[in-house]
Amino acid sequence: MKFFPFKIWPLRIAHLMALGLTVFLGGLLACAPTALIGLKPQGLQEVPLKIVWLQIPGLSEDHFAFLRFQNLSAATVTSFEESTCWGKLWNFNLFHLRPPAEQGLLAQVTGSTNQQSTCQDYQARPVWSYLKELGFHSGILEVAVRPEQSLAAAQHCPEQKDFLTGTALWRMAKAPTSKTGQFHYQDRPFHWQEGILYDRSCQQTTCFASPVDNFWYLQSQLSTFPSYLLLVRDFSYQNALQAKKFHQAQTILADWEKVYASLMAMKAQDPSILVILSSTSAIGLEFPPEGPAWNVLKTQDQPISYHRPLLTSLALAAGASAENFCGIYQEANLLERILWPHNQKRVNQEIKKINKLKAQQAKEQAAASERSSQ
């Protein structure tokens, strides 16, 4: 009963037990109907077993113009725009309006709004801890993440050292010592294990492996498990925007758009895949008003001005239970939307048990009635 922090399924089970739902209702809840969302067919109540979650701070849906208006036809649709559900995330917590990106991303994976960049931030239970109870293998890839922004910072908190229990953390950063565990996207065979590993290609002045190379290596290996979570935390896009390196930001976004397109194709073949893209600390940009300025942007940086981070950021979802991510909500509510289908699965399993018991009781009553009539 302690699986969920939302007090949802224990209450519902109690109600179901008390009311003794009929076989019809149990069957109705157990099936997975199909609906149209944004004129696209979407299966409902499907339980995601393979979750890929891209967290890209600084991103706003306006930035898709980097990709759309670099083509010969502005009518070209990016894979991001093909998502089933679009959400807008309020970016605030108990202490800050417009909190720093690392606090926003942490709120998304823990469901907590109690972040102050202290050890207290890691007291809340993260998504991979819940999924571990369901047999998931989880991994986190960190790109361009400073030490104070990294989830590895939890290891410096004596009472929160178990924060990363249930997941592997792969950091594209220089290892603290030469004896620290490392990985490389060409390593074979792959051995998933909990703990922190550092990219062997990042031990000099720069990383020689690309984030996309590492992503596909880790995804291909995690996909050997029946259920998994692959979480990407990429700060390089935000870093490029803040440094006004807009051509670099465009390249980074284009790389992840290609990854997203491939994941969408995989989702079409496997209904158990859920693809999520979320942002925080979204940066508003003023794009060029005319065509010639866009042509210059292809080869060099433009002085596009921007203001303070926006109050809302982006969430996209496609695949199993993507319908849960539509709407406007606080970014800490993302966790509930990820875990809800698994909660619903447990409810449906309990309904089946109730109906099976009722059927058995009815059978026994019929047999008893038949014996008494004889």
Q: What is the pLDDT of residues 294-303, one digit of tens each?
A: 666 666 666 5
User: What is the predicted pLDDT for the residue at 20?
Assistant: 43
Report whether 164 contacts 196 (CB < 8 A).
yes
Q: How confident is the model at residue 73 (pLDDT cuts 50, 70, 90)?
A: low
User: What is the predicted pLDDT for the residue at 171?
Assistant: 93
User: What is the predicted pLDDT for the residue at 28?
Assistant: 37
User: What is the predicted pLDDT for the residue at 355?
Assistant: 63
What is the domain-level CATH number for residue 124?
A: 3.40.720.10
Contacts of 359 (CB under 8 A, 6+ apart): 23
**Mean local confidence (pLDDT), 234-240:** 94
Q: Pull the structure tokens for residue 325.
A: 């991510």
Domain count, the chain: 1
Q: How confident is the model at residue 32 (pLDDT cuts 50, 70, 90)?
A: low
pLDDT in tens, 329-342: 999 999 999 988 87
- Burial of 324 (C-beta count, 10 Å sphere; 0-12/13-18/19+): buried
Q: ∠ at Cα 237 (327, 268), nearest 5°?
A: 50
Res 326 pLDDT > 90:
yes
Query: What pTM did the predictor assign?
Result: 0.81
Q: Is the peptide bond before 189 cis (omega within 30 degrees of 0)?
A: yes
140-149, 162-171, 348-357, range with the lowest pLDDT: 348-357
**Mean local confidence (pLDDT), 49-66:** 93
Q: Within a domain: residue 365?
A: no
User: What is the predicted pLDDT for the residue at 292?
Assistant: 65
Name the average pLDDT for the chain: 82
User: What is the predicted pLDDT for the residue at 116?
Assistant: 84
Q: Within a domain: residue 132?
A: yes
Res 313 pLDDT > 90:
yes
39-53, 182-196, 324-338, range with the lowest pLDDT: 39-53
Report whether 242 contacts 151 (CB < 8 A).
no
Q: Which domain holds residue 215?
A: 32-285+293-349
Q: Within a domain: residue 18?
A: no
Which has more confidence, 356 or 266? 266
Q: How confident is the model at residue 14 (pLDDT cuts 50, 70, 90)?
A: very low
Q: Within a domain: residue 138?
A: yes
Tell me, rounded to whole angstroms, the distance of Cα 142 from its chain centroid.
14
User: What is the predicted pLDDT for the residue at 21?
Assistant: 34
User: What is the predicted pLDDT for the residue at 262?
Assistant: 96
Q: Within a domain: residue 254?
A: yes
Q: Dihedrals φ, ψ of 322, to 5°?
A: -60, -25
Q: Within a domain: residue 169?
A: yes
Res 347 pLDDT > 90:
no
User: What is the predicted pLDDT for the residue at 8?
Assistant: 43
> Could you tell me what percent of the chain has a pLDDT over 70?
79
Q: Within a domain: residue 75?
A: yes
- Name the β-bridge partners of 299: none
Bridge pairing between strands 312-319 and 85-90:
antiparallel
Kindly tell me the sign of the dihedral angle through the C-alpha atoms of 162, 163, 166, 172.
negative
Q: Within a domain: residue 307?
A: yes
The top-scoring range by mean pLDDT among 61-70, 130-139, 281-290, 360-369 is 130-139
Which has more confidence, 301 or 313? 313
Q: How confident is the model at residue 118 (pLDDT cuts 50, 70, 90)?
A: confident
Res 274 pLDDT > 70:
yes
Q: Pull the structure tokens for residue 297.
A: 């942007």
Which has more confidence, 297 or 114? 114
